Structure 1
Amino acid sequence: MSDMNECTSKIWSRFEAKKQDGSVIKLRIQSWQLQSKDDVYEFILKHFVSGEAIHKAAGITRNPEALKEYGELLDLHFKVAPLCAEVCCVDNDGTTVDQILGVSMTQLMTNTQKLEDITKELDLKTAEIQQLLHAAKVLEGYLQPHISSYNTFYFGRGLIVHPEYRKLGIANEFIKVRKLVCIANNVPMTCAGMSAVGSQKAAEKNNWKTFVDIPIDELEKNTGLVFEKDSILNHNIMYTTTE
């Protein structure tokens, strides 16, 4: 954990949560300077890729070569467009992060940027990553009609909470912070595709609206992926503005 001991960044939120055993834990959300192969990078590969519905349906974690290519895709995102990340950790009244409990990642985009422009230099070989990118392009098609009035916006690239720290309100706090980041950086809107019920409920609780609600059957038809029906009912592209 040596990479995290010297991490100092902006603190967006401090809050308390009650664990199942009744004890209270102090938590905070703070910015993280993303770097290739750092602790957040490893957290995403371990928890987000294996748990997020679309990544899971694409089968990335079942193929070591696909997981390696996903890492290359992350590296490319670091280079092409600014990525913004916040982490949740136990609040020790400082800025040292001893353990990452959750990650929220967004990317500053313009309404003229397309995924194809970002990934065109990659020669992707695994079927799993090709399926993932095809699904992403399909979802981009759903989003495009809604973003023409926003010159810039933050697009969600992932929100994941460590399995042992779920149901503590961390996702809800991440959703709150995404709007705070918009306000602080004078970006008018942030949006994200949300498949997890927990993320959708957190967004609704914070008055996010829905650009489009995609039924799971329609998403399967258009992407070619097969989802676990007990874990996803629909895919919402949700948003909030600074107005």
Structure 2
Amino acid sequence: MSKWSRPTSVSIPTIWATFEGRQIINGNKRQYWIQDITDEYRDRIVEYMIEEFTMDEPLCKYSSNLNHHLGLVCLTKDEDGKPIIAAMNCTTLCSKYDDESSGDGLQVQVLKTLMWVKKQVDPFSKFNITEYLDAMGLYVPPKFRGEGLGYELLKARKALCRACGLKVSITLFTSAISQKLADRVGFKDLYAIDYVDLEKVNPAFKYPGIQEHTKSLRFMYIVYE
């Protein structure tokens, strides 16, 4: 079991970034901010990830385990000035002391695929760390796409990690869109494999039609100096 806990000196929620959107609405650009996921947003984010994220991502890995208080949510305000969710990145802690979880149905196939990819290289030894920031899904609802929110969420990991004493962020990016965002932010490949080769490793790792839009799985990292 992980021995890590968020420093008590880092308040919850902390606002990690503020920025303007790209689209002009009623003569103004929408204002956004990125903060920690708090209890008031947790249930809605779980709904988004289960009902909508899994429809967009090539692989459907998701867990509602946000107990380390490392998840990020991008908020804006509606016409009445009330904060609303614009995007989310379910970032979480990955520790060398954690036990692998299990699932059922499609989750077993997906989980086994991801676990196999992550076992091809040992980030704990490579970076001499015991924990790193991982993520179980980044999602932007259709209404807010085109505003650069995914990019801003990936960037915000830097401030979060530095404040919480985490030196590295590593994530398995499964779609071409998220991989391009990761490239822009500065993530590099730790391990990558084409889906066609993944299927050769194990016929159970077959995802029909996935190669039409995404060539490979990319296990990517970024080190925060």
TM-score tier (shorter): 0.7 to 0.9
8 Å CA contact 2:23–2:147 kept in 1: the answer is yes
Q: What displacement does 1:91 show? A: 5.0
1:231 aligns with 2:213: yes
Aligned AA (2:146): K
Q: Which runs of 5+ in 1 are unaligned?
A: 1-7, 57-69
Q: 1:213 to 1:26 in 2, by over 3 A?
A: same
Q: Name the SS for the 2:210 alignment partner.
A: coil
Question: In the alignment, is the contact (CA less than 8 A) between 1:87 and 1:103 conserved in 2?
Answer: yes
The number of residue pairs the alignment matches comes to 206
SS of 1:47's equivalent in the other structure is helix
Instruction: Decide whether the 8 Å contact of 1:152 with 1:187 is kept in 2.
Output: yes
Counterpart of 1:217 (choices 187, 190, 196) is 196
* 1:87 CA displacement: 0.9
* Letter matched to residue 124 of structure 2: I
Q: CA deviation at 1:238?
A: 0.8
Matched AA of 1:145:
D
Partner of 2:36: helix, strand, or coil?
strand
Whether the aligned pair in 1 keeps the contact of 2:22 and 2:148 (CA below 8 Å) is no
Question: How many angstroms does 1:97 deviate by?
Answer: 6.1
Q: Secondary structure at the match of 1:99?
A: strand
Q: Which residue of 2 aligns with 1:19?
A: 23
Tell me the residue number matched to 1:107: 92
What is the alpha-carbon distance in structure 1 between the residues aligned to residue 179 and residue 198 of structure 2? 17
Match for residue 123 of structure 2? 146
Structure 1 runs (4+) greater than 6 angstroms displaced: none
Partner of 1:85: 71
Which amino acid in 2 is paired with 1:217? V
* TM-score, scaled relative to structure 1: 0.74
Equivalent residues of 1:179, 1:240 under 8 A apart: no
State the shift of 1:161 in Å. Answer: 0.9
CA RMSD of aligned residues (A): 2.7
Matches of 1:170 and 1:220, distance apart in 2: 33
The one of 159, 181, 185 aligned to 1:202: 181
Gaps of 5+ in 2: 1-11
Equivalent position SS for 1:55: coil
Per-residue Cα deviation, 1:2-26 (whole angstroms, up to 9, x for no partner): xxxxxx8211111112228886221
TM-score after normalising by structure 2: 0.79
Greater fraction of residues in helix: 1
After superposition, give the CA deviation of every residue in 1:29-66 in whole Å (9 maximum; x if it has no partner). Answer: 1111358971111111122122111129xxxxxxxxxx
Distance 1:171 1:78, change over 3 A: closer
Q: Which residue of 2 aligns with 1:163?
A: 142
